[in-house]
C-alpha cells in the first residue's frame, strides 16, 4: 500500500502543501483532483521522492522511503507532467537509460507498449502521445509496484488515452498501485479512491458524482 500522512511543503514563503494525506491499497487506482496550481504536482513529486517534504510521513507497504531514499527508486516509477525523456536519444536508448532491468525485460516492455516501430527514432521526432507512451514505459520498465503519474493523458487523442487507460487497468489488475493527478472524467471514473486537493489539504471524496461540482467550486475560488 501507499500511505502519505500530514505532508507539508513550503516553496519560499508560500505554503504549497499544508496537510496532505493519501492512502492507496494494492490494486487501487487513486486519483488526486483539484484546480490548477493547488499543489497536486508538488505532492506527487514528493511521493515519488523527487522533492523532500518539510514534514509528514510516507509508507510504501512496510517501508519508509523518507528514511531510506533508495526505496523510492526501488518501488516506484514516476511519470511527471513534462517530458522526462532525453530528446536527442532514441526510444531504445531512453529505455536503457531509465531501466535497470536487462534486455529481456526491456523487450517485454517494448512489446507491451507497442514501441517496436519507433525504437530507433530519436524522441524529438515523436508526437506528444508517443512521448507519453515512452515515458510511462520507462517508469514501468523496472517492475515497480507503484506508479505515480501526473496527468498521464493530458493533451492526448482518444486512441492514445484509451491505450494508457488499458495499461492502468492491467497494472492495477496485477495488484499494482497507481496514484495520479487528473482532470479527465474517464480517469476519475476509473479511480477506486479520489482525493480532492484544495488550499494545500486533501479530502477523500466518497461520492464520485459530487466531484465535478467540487472542481467547479475550487476553480471559482481560484479565480
Partner 1 sequence: MSENNEVRFDPMTGQPVQGGQTDDQRQTEGQNAFDPLAGPQKSNKKNTKILIGVIIGVIAVIVIAFVICIASGVFLSKNAKVIKAAANTFEPNELIKDLDASSQLEGGNYTVAVEMEGESYGEDFELKASYQQNTAKKKHAVNGKFVYSGTSVDFHEYMDEEELLVSIPKLYPDTFGYYFNEEKDGYLAELLGDDFFEAFDDLCTTSMNDMASSTKMAAEYTKILKDNYNALEFETVEKEVFKVDGKDRKCKGYTTTLTEENVGACLDELSEVYSEYNKNTVNDVKTMFEAVGLEDDELAELDNNIFDTLKEEIEDMPDLDVTFYIYKNRLAAVCVTGTDETGDMKLDIEFRGGTTPTQNTIITYTLNGDGGSIKILGKTEDSVEKTKIVEVYEGEKTTLMDINYDYKNKELEVKAEDGGFTATIDNSEKGLVIDFKDIADESIDLTVTLKKGSNIKKPEQDVFNIGTASEQDFYDLFYDVEDFTKELQ
| Closest to partner 1 by CB, 28 or 151 | 28
Binding residues for partner 1 restricted to 32-91, rule: CB under 8 A? 60-62, 67, 75
Note whether 33 and 194 are within 8 A (CB): yes
Query: Shortest approach of partner 1 to residue 27 CB, angstroms?
Result: 7
Stretch that binds partner 1, among 6-14, 36-44, 123-131, 141-149 (CB under 8 A): 141-149
Interface with partner 1, residue 111, by CB under 8 A: yes
Q: Using CB under 8 A, pick the residue from 5, 57, 143, 199 that binds partner 1.
A: 143
Size of interface with partner 1, in residues (CB under 8 A): 27
Q: Which residues pair with 196 in a beta bridge?
A: 33, 203
Q: Using CB under 8 A, pick the residue from 54, 87, 170, 213 that binds partner 1.
A: 170
Interface with partner 1, residue 167, by CB under 8 A: yes
Q: Using CB under 8 A, pick the residue from 113, 123, 195, 214 that binds partner 1.
A: 113
Note whether 87 and 123 are within 8 A (CB): yes
CA 93 centroid distance within chain = 22
Interface with partner 1, residue 158, by CB under 8 A: no
Would you state the cell numbers that stand for residue 223, as one nine-digit string? 479565480
Q: How far is CA 169 from CA 29, 57, 148, 193, in A?
A: 8, 28, 14, 14
Note whether 180 and 29 are within 8 A (CB): yes
Q: How far is CA 99 from CA 58, 136, 206, in A?
A: 24, 12, 37
Amino acid at each position: 500500500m501507499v500511505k502519505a500522512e500530514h505532508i507539508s511543503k513550503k516553496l519560499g514563503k508560500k505554503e504549497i502543501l499544508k496537510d496532505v494525506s493519501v492512502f492507496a491499497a494494492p490494486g487501487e487506482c487513486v486519483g488526486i483532483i483539484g484546480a490548477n496550481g493547488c499543489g497536486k504536482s508538488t505532492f506527487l513529486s514528493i511521493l515519488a521522492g523527487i522533492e523532500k517534504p518539510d514534514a509528514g510521513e510516507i509508507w510504501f507497504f512496510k517501508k519508509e522511503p523518507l528514511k531510506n531514499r533508495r526505496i523510492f527508486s526501488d518501488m516506484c516509477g514516476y511519470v511527471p507532467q513534462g517530458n522526462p525523456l532525453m530528446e536527442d536519444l532514441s526510444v531504445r536508448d531512453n529505455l536503457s537509460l531509465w531501466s535497470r532491468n536487462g534486455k529481456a525485460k526491456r523487450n517485454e516492455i517494448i512489446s507491451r507498449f507497442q514501441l517496436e516501430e519507433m525504437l530507433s527514432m530519436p524522441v524529438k521526432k515523436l508526437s506528444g502521445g508517443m512521448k507519453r507512451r515512452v515515458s510511462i514505459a520507462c517508469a514501468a520498465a523496472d517492475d515497480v509496484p507503484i506508479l505515480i503519474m501526473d496527468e498521464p493523458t493530458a493533451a492526448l487523442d482518444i486512441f492514445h488515452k484509451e491505450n494508457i487507460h488499458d495499461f492502468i487497468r492491467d497494472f492495477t489488475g496485477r495488484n499494482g498501485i497507481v496514484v495520479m493527478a487528473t482532470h479527465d472524467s474517464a480517469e476519475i471514473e476509473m479511480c477506486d479512491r479520489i482525493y480532492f486537493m484544495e488550499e494545500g489539504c486533501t479530502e477523500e471524496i466518497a461520492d464520485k458524482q459530487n466531484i465535478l461540482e467540487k472542481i467547479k467550486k475550487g476553480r471559482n475560488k481560484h479565480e
